[in-house]
Structure 1
Amino acid sequence: MRTKNRLVADEIKYFRPEFSNCPTCQSKLDYCHTVSKKTISTLNGVKTIVNMGYRCTNPECKNISTVFRSAQAEHLSVKHITYGIDVLAFVGELRFKEHKTRKEIMNVLNGLGVVVSERHVQKLYERYTVLLRASAEYNSKEILKETVETHGGIILSMDGVQPEKGNETLYVIREVLSGTILAAKNVKSSSTEELMEFIKPIIGYGFPILGFVSDGQKSIRLAFETLSPETPYQYCQFHYLKDISKPVVDKDRKLKTNIKKKLRGIREIEKKALKEDTLESETTLAYTAAIRSVLLEDGCPPLELPGIKVYEQTKLIQDSLEKCLDKKGAPCTRKAVQNSQ
């Protein structure tokens, strides 16, 4: 038995068909009844989506019994799920791009106001993979034809998402030049033989292949080399940079941790400033708010190191604070600030 949707909407949005006249006879469409009313949780809050149905007013039209509805409303969510498509896409991004676990994804979504449990995250992930497989089959050959005409061939990349707690690994084949996802499949085994069966239909399209790209996984490389030994193979530059920069990233993480440790006393300063109603206390609260904002900054290693980013921004705050203290004529306080940094 399905449980009742207990979401409380903060907004009701009404949708009607994207056209006002019948596509067959051009007669005006009139409202007939509500096709669907669904409350969903999105990244922008909880919305109630009302999809209103319209019918042709011409009794002689062959579409007289057809109920037209809004395609935009239909695209906001999928059936039997109370989360928006944007939430599904965000779960996919967190899982595949940032490689977060179910618990980490749950914490991120809850922080954004999307209430989920780990079980819900798993269901959303499964729905995302279904949509990914469906989208991989849509119009991909036509896009590849355009890519071949422009570049003389295609470049295939392949990557697998590390499974969590016994789940199957999701492998994705992507055309690099156009960014088109060509295939996606959950596999129980990452053996070379099974991956070859996954790759064969793509090679069977018959388009000239300029090269293969993947991470360092041996079974992927062997599958590509076995199926097309003459095609050049390249190690993914992102994975290459990520691997060689691990020592730097580790030191950068320690730098950010040390900066946070030195700024732990910021809460006590805020408490003292809140008890006063002076220009100095307002300035102090502004600086503490700036520091808190900086500590939330994150980067994208290895090209954008978060520790260095936090260090540079806190250094700017320190320089600004020292200038204020110099104007105020408080050398002793300035020295204390320097020691705390």
Structure 2
Amino acid sequence: MRMRYENRRTLVTLTGTVRLRLKIRRCETQDCARLHKPYRPEAEGALALPQHEFGLDVLALVGALRPREHRSVPEIHALLRRRGVPIAERTNLLDRYDEVLATQLADPRHLRGQLAGQDRIILALDGLQPDVGHAVLGVLRDCLSGTVLLARSLLSGAADDLTALLRDAVAAAGLPVAGVISDGQHSIRKAVALVLPGVPHQLCHFHFRREAALPIFEADRHAKQELKQRVRGVRPIERSVEGRTDPEAQVVRGYAAAVRSAITDDGRAPRDAAGLRLKRRLEKTAGSLERVAAKGGRRARFRGSSS
């Protein structure tokens, strides 16, 4: 399949706001049943429901707080805000959680109607646990249609619980399973081998790249720490021009802000190497300072903070 266009999407998760760049692919094989139909990245469904602005981790936490701990809506909102999740007074989070769990009780005929026209499904299995000690929200999706086949609150992510979840989802779909996509969790591998022996089981591309890049990411993080140790003295320089409004003071504040921004830009693994990004940004700042110095600008006092 070829990548034809990109979509951008913003999600609010428990760890902060995430901006996704989704590469949409289409099959170009003329005799393919899905000719020219868009195929979205399988990792997207592991992060959020279709057309929803909150991540599945937020949804799982809301489900743990409402049905299990019997928290009120204001209490849930207050807890989410304390964790840095921006949320409006009126939200459909509880409704969306109920919709997901309703797939557990839905009539299989309705589900098969959504899958009409397909001759197979590709399962994506994800388990989300918002916090240690909370129940796991197990979600099974069809990658071809994006349909949520089954969602269930599990006591744990053990192989026995996942085996039952898989069997029920396959039975509800009523179509042959062409493949399974998941992360590398051992309990998931064991459950898939028991329920779907011989069916290809592939690691999710995002998880695979993240794990493969982990040694490089750790080395890059160490390099960034070393670079940050060498970038010192920004705050005293800012204080030295505090209260001044002349052009030179504005230039100094601009360079100081550029250095501070570069230091705090952590990127996002596995695609972004924060250490390399910091090095490039500092080199650009240093190059700009060199050009200023060549034109007769004052650089001597700022040199120690960007080397």
TM over 0.5: yes
What is residue 127 of structure 2 aligned with on the other side?
Answer: 160
Q: Which runs of 5+ in 2 are unaligned?
A: 1-11, 13-51, 61-75
In structure 2, C-alpha distance between the alignment counterparts of 1:313 and 1:94, rounded to whole Å: 34
Task: Give the TM-score, by structure 2 length.
Answer: 0.63
**Closer/same/farther in 2, CA of residues 265 and 125 from structure 1, 3 Å limit:** farther
Counterpart in 1 of 2:277? 309
The one of the two structures with greater contact order (alpha-carbon pairs below 8 A, sep at least 6) is 2
What does the per-residue CA deviation read over 1:32-64, in whole Å, with 9 as the maximum and x for residues that have no partner?
Answer: xxxxxxxxxxx9xxxxxxxxxxxxxxxxxxxxx
- Give, in whole Å, the separation in 2 of the partners of 1:106 and 1:95: 16
**Does the 8 A contact of 1:92 with 1:125 survive in 2?**
no
Deviations 1:222-276 (A, max 9, x none): 2222222132112223222222221111122223333333334212111112243
- Identify if the C-alpha distance between structure 1 residues 265 and 161 changes in structure 2 by more than 3 Å, giving closer, same or farther: same
User: Kindly, what percent of the aligned residue pairs are identical?
Assistant: 28
User: Which amino acid in the other structure matches residue 195 of structure 1?
Assistant: L
Number of residue equivalences: 234
What secondary structure sits across from 1:333 in the alignment?
A: coil
Q: Which moved more, 1:124-133 or 1:184-193?
A: 124-133
8 Å CA contact 2:233, 2:304 repeated in 1: no
CA contact (8 A) 2:137 2:154 kept: yes
Counterpart in 1 of 2:144? 177
Q: Which structure is larger by alpha-carbon Rg, 1 or 2?
A: 1
Render the CA deviation track for 1:134-175: whole Å, top value 9, x for unaligned: 4786975444335x2xxx422101121245231111211122
Structure 1 stretches of at least 4 aligned residues deviating more than 6 Å after TM superposition: 102-105, 124-128
2:170 pairs with 1:199 = no
Report the CA distance between 1:324 and its aligned residue: 0.9
2:116 alignment partner, SS class: helix
Distance across 1 between alignment mates of 2:80 and 2:300? 41
Checking the alignment, whether the CA contact within 8 Å between 1:94 and 1:105 is kept in structure 2 is no
Aligned to 1:145: 116
Work out whether residues 95 and 105 of structure 1, in 8 Å CA contact, stay in contact via their aligned partners in 2: no
Q: CA 1:313–1:257 in structure 2 vs 1: closer, same or farther (change >3 Å)?
A: same
Aligned-residue offset at 1:329? 5.5
Please say which of residues 198-207 and 132-141 is displaced more in the overlay.
132-141
CA shift for structure 1 position 115: 9.9
* TM-score normalised by structure 1 residue count: 0.58
- Rounded to whole Å, the distance in 1 between the matches of 2:58 and 2:286 is 34
